[in-house]
């Protein structure tokens, strides 16, 4: 972040969810406007697609499905747009980026098209230590366009979420006052595995910030008819338990409880049987992680900082 501390904004309790989003949008209006203006995926892919007749049924169905399932978070999204003074369409598009891009014609895609995110996690729960370590390696347009939200809700629950400018908290990682935390890894199902107009991943992770237990978090994940799927690393601090939960469309879920054997997750499915895109980046990171020691917290941090593979380093420092 160019030597600057990541800003945390404390917000709430608010009279309603729209106000929560409005205050966030108002506080970070400059970051949101700057992010949207410089986001090539938005400007070169999503917005041109959204102006075509072909896009209208998909955008309408996505909006209606997610508003119906999560009316509170939809109001928060609208409040973020109004508070930051940017078009609602732009906010909708960046929040549904992963749900829309698979349906943009390959003939219209160019070099600015989205690529697989490059987040990496190392998870361990042994007698001597419990570790959940995460690299947040995302699109270069997000540099300088992220912040922390400390949200306080009227029911007494509070959360802290690392947030991409203009998006719902959090598509990256967060924790709440119930002792629950999560990190996320995107996964690349093939086109046939994707269901149009399902629940968006940003809405599921926003919902996880309000989970009251591991069982509740799993129920929230299972009840969402997702479009694309995701990998969730659920961390229960009180129970000293970490679960990796892989999801896909059509209500497919696989749960792996992490133990003493170090568990490394990049951006491919590991235990849910889903047809997925061959991602050389993730495969290379997975192989490199298996080669490196992971017996201590120092080893784990060194692994996440590894740049030995110059083409596909575990620690990304530039364009994907």
Average pLDDT, the chain: 94
**pTM, rounded to two decimals:** 0.94
12 lies in the same domain as 160: no
Report pLDDT for 118: 74
Tell me, yes or no, whether 27 and 67 share the same domain.
yes
For residues 109-118, give the mean pLDDT.
54
Predicted pLDDT of residue 3: 52
Is residue 138 in a domain?
yes
DSSP assignment letter at 114:
-
Specify whether 164 is located in the same domain as 92.
no
Asked if 145 and 79 sit in the same domain, the reply is no
Question: Is 320 part of any domain?
Answer: no
265 closest CA partner among 230, 302, 220:
230
Residue 317's pLDDT is what? 74
DSSP string, 190-201: -GGGPPTT-B-H
Do 195 and 164 share a structural domain? Answer: yes
36 and 165 within one domain: no
With a CB cutoff of 8 Å and minimum separation 6, the contacts of 32 are 25, 80, 84, 86, 145, 165, 166
Query: Do the domain assignments include residue 298?
Result: yes
The answer to whether residue 3 sits within a structural domain is no
CA dist 191 and 98 (Å) reads 12
Does residue 319 form part of some domain?
no
Crossing angle, helix 88-95 and helix 55-69, to 10 degrees? Answer: 80
Place of tokens 């995701």: 230
Gyration radius (Cα) of the chain, Å: 19
Q: Which residue has the tokens 């007698």?
A: 127
For range 54-65, the mean pLDDT: 97
pLDDT over 70 at 61, yes or no: yes
Which of 51, 81, 107 lies at the terminal end of a domain, its last residue?
A: 107
Assess whether 185 and 287 both reside in one domain: yes
- Separation of alpha carbons 286 and 264, rounded Å: 7
Whether 165 and 65 map to the same domain: the answer is no
Instruction: Out of 107, 129, 156, pick the residue that ends a domain.
Output: 107
User: Could you give the number of structural domains in the chain?
Assistant: 2
Q: Would you state the pLDDT for residue 138? A: 79
30 and 158, same domain (yes or no): no
Give buried/exposed letters for 111-129 (b at 16+ CB in 10 A, else e).
eeebebbbbbbbbbbeeee
In sequence order, what are the beta bridge partners of 317? none
- Which of 50, 119, 95 minimizes the C-alpha distance to 204? 95
Residue 289 lies in a domain: yes
Could you tell me if 139 and 247 lie in one domain?
A: yes
**pLDDT digits 0-9 by tens, 19-40:** 999 999 999 999 999 999 999 9
pLDDT reported for residue 184: 97
Residues 41 and 66 placed together within one structural domain of the fold = yes
CA distance 186 to 267: 5
Q: ∠ CA 235-205-11 to the nearest 5 degrees?
A: 95
How does residue 319 score in pLDDT terms, banded at 50, 70 and 90?
Answer: low
For β-strands 173-176 and 180-185, DSSP reports them as: antiparallel
Average pLDDT over residues 160-181: 98
Q: What is the CATH number of the domain that holds 40?
A: 1.10.439
Which range (1-10, 77-86, 209-218) has the least confidence? 1-10
Confidence of residue 67 (pLDDT cuts 50, 70, 90): very high
Q: Do 135 and 25 have their domain in common?
A: no
Report if residue 2 sits inside a domain.
Answer: no
Residue that finishes a domain, picked among 78, 107, 136: 107
CA triple 89-163-68, angle to 5 deg? 50
Q: What is the mean pLDDT of residues 245-249?
A: 98
Domain interval for residue 70: 8-107
Phi/psi at 294 (nearest 5 deg)? -140, 35
Q: Please give the average per-residue pLDDT across 220-240, as a whole number.
A: 97
Q: For residue 139, what pLDDT band results from cuts at 50, 70 and 90?
A: confident
In a domain, 314, yes or no: no
CATH number for the domain spanning 222: value is 3.60.60.10
The pair of structure tokens assigned to 218 is 């799993």
Q: How confident is the model at residue 111 (pLDDT cuts 50, 70, 90)?
A: very low
Cα gap 284→169, rounded to integer Å? 30
* Residue 318 banded pLDDT, cuts 50, 70, 90: low
């Amino acid at each position: 972040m160019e030597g600057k501390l990541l800003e945390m904004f404390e917000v709430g309790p608010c009279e309603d969810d729209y106000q929560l989003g409005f205050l966030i949008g108002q506080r970070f209006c400059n970051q949101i406007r700057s992010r949207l203006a410089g986001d090539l995926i938005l400007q070169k892919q999503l917005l041109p697609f959204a102006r075509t007749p072909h896009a209208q049924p998909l955008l309408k169905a996505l909006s209606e499905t997610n508003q119906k399932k999560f009316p509170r978070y939809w109001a928060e999204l609208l409040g973020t747009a109004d508070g930051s003074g940017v078009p609602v369409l732009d906010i909708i598009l960046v929040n549904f980026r992963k749900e829309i891009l698979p349906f943009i014609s390959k003939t219209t895609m160019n070099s600015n098209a989205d690529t697989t995110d490059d987040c990496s996690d190392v998870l361990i729960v042994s007698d001597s230590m419990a570790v959940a370590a995460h690299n947040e390696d995302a699109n270069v347009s997000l540099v300088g366009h992220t912040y922390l939200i400390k949200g306080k809700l009227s029911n007494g629950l509070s959360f802290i979420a690392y947030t991409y400018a203009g998006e719902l908290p959090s598509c990256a990682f967060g924790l709440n006052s119930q002792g629950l935390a999560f990190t996320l890894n995107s996964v690349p199902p093939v086109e046939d595995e994707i269901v149009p107009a399902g629940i968006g991943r940003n809405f599921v992770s926003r919902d996880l910030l309000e989970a009251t237990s591991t069982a509740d978090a799993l129920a929230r994940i299972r009840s969402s008819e997702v479009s694309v799927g995701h990998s969730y690393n659920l961390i229960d601090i009180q129970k000293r338990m970490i679960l990796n939960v892989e999801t896909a469309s059509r209500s497919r879920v696989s749960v792996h409880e992490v133990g003493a054997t170090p568990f490394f997750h990049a951006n491919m499915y590991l235990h849910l049987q889903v047809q997925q895109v061959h991602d050389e980046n993730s495969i290379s990171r997975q192989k490199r992680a298996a080669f490196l020691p992971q017996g201590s917290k120092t080893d784990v941090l060194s692994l996440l900082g590894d740049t030995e593979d110059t083409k596909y380093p575990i620690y990304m420092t530039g364009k994907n």
